[in-house]
Every structure is written in C-alpha cells, then in structure tokens.
Amino acid sequence: MMDKASRLKVALQKSGRLTDNSLDLLVRCGLKYSRGKDQLLCYGENMPLDLLLVRDDDIPDLVQQDVCDLGIVGLNVIEEKRLAFQARGIAPLFEQLQVLDFGKCRLSIAVPDGAKYDGPASLRGKRIATTYPNILARYLRENDVTAEIVTLSGAVEIAPRLGRADFICDLVSTGSTLLANHLREAEMIMESRAAIISTPVAVSAEKQAWIQRLRMRIDGVQQVKE
C-alpha cells in the first residue's frame, strides 16, 4: 500500500445524524476499516484512505485548510461556511463533489404556535434566533426584510420561550422538535442533504485516481438504492 502522504484523508461526523450513513456509504463502496485507539482516526485496510472523525461544523475548515482531502457534511453547513468565508473576504477552498441521499432536512423559519405569519414581511423588525446567521442574512436581504439575527450555538428552539427571540430559523426534518417546543414551521429557506466536498488543492495522481474511483463507487451505490 502507499505511504502516509499519499493516503486520502476523509473527514466524517464523529457522532451525530450523519455518522452511521457516512460510514455505511464507505463500507458499501468496499472499504474495510479499523478504528484507532483514540476513536478519532479510522484506518482503511483495503484502500489507501483514512477517516478522521470530527464535529460536523469543523469539516469544511479541515478541507479548506487541506488537512483532509474529502469530507462528508450537510449542505446547510457547507453553505453557511461558504458565506461566512465570503463575508470575511476569504475565498472558500472547498468544492462540492456529490450530493448524497441521506441527511435530508430543511432550514426553515418557525414561529410560536398562535403567532401570525403571512410571508417574509412578517419577519420585519423581529428577532430571529439561529445557528445559521449567514444563510438567514442572505434570505432576509433577498426578501428586502430588515430583522435582528440572534446568533446562538445551539438550543435554538427554546429561544422564543426564553424571550431571546420572536422566531427561529433552524433545521427541521420530521417537525417533532418544533412540536415539542410549541413552534410551527412557517417558511422553508433551504433544502439540505449530505454532500461530499473536496479540496481544490492539486493532489497526487495516485490520490486523484482514488478520488475518482470512490466517486464512481458512490454513484453506483446510490443508484442501487434509488
């Protein structure tokens, strides 16, 4: 097998909604791996490929910094990071290679039960809590709405009850979290699924060949499932 520098590094979510599906996808592509003692690195036994298990929010940065060649992460995180880099005048250095068939959810505006909502104009002058300030800011701009974005790092769904915000902008899949928090989905801002991102930095021909091989296998695996 190849030496260390020529092994592909792939960043995956360590533990969360994308973890099982991401590992499962690679196993279906033929990967056999063993877990490192630290539970942070998995070693590919039959492919020159290692897995780095991290928080999903760190995945675009790891690819941006060329620490990893590939990453599997939600389009919501990819888009938020892309806009955050742009806002800081930094060119996003990751490319979206393939959209995958798991991790489906949507980023939506949700409002407390009983609150009035008739379209984006209802957001005017309101405080909206979110962990996606850049995507929300773009949405508000596109709809000519001025509102206050309250950026939180988590537990967005309880912000209205705590009096920190009027509305929220958060990920929804079944809607059960909203229901439990007496909120209702009012407007979808973005649809999301997991996707593969890659470094635009030139990699060796060997690595490039493995990226191509992996992409083809992923296409094959996804077609079988459809």
Is 145 within 8 Å of 121 (Cβ atoms)?
yes
Residue 6 or 151 with smaller CB distance to ligand ATP: 151
Q: Minimal distance in Å, beta carbon 139 to ligand ATP?
A: 17
Q: Minimal distance in Å, beta carbon 16 to Zn ion?
A: 7
Closest-by-Cβ residue to ligand ATP is 74
Q: Which amino acid is at 23?
A: L
Residue 73 or 128 with smaller CB distance to Zn ion: 73
Task: Decide if residue 77 touches ligand ATP (CB under 6 A).
Answer: yes
Strands of 105-112's sheet in order across: 148-151, 127-130, 167-172, 105-112, 183-192
Interface segment toward ligand ATP; rule CB under 6 A; list 27-35, 52-60, 158-166, 213-221:
52-60
Beta bridge partners of residue 70, listed in sequence order: 10, 198
Of the candidate residues 23, 83, 110, 171, the single one contacting ligand ATP (CB under 6 A) = 171
Task: Decide if residue 58 touches Zn ion (CB under 5 A).
Answer: no
Both tokens assigned to 74: 């939600």
Q: Minimal distance in Å, beta carbon 191 to ligand ATP?
A: 11
The answer for residues whose C-beta is within 8 angstroms of residue 221's C-beta and 6 or more apart is: 25, 28, 29
Residue 128 interaction partner, one of ligand ATP, Zn ion, none, beta carbon < 5-8 Å per kind: none
Is 134 within 8 Å of 87 (Cβ atoms)?
yes
Task: Decide if residue 57 touches Zn ion (CB under 5 A).
Answer: yes
Is 7 within 8 Å of 68 (Cβ atoms)?
no
Binding residues for ligand ATP, rule CB under 6 A, total: 15
- Beta strand ranges found along 39-134 (DSSP E): 41-44, 49-54, 70-74, 95-99, 105-112, 127-130
Residues that bind Zn ion (CB under 5 A): 56-57
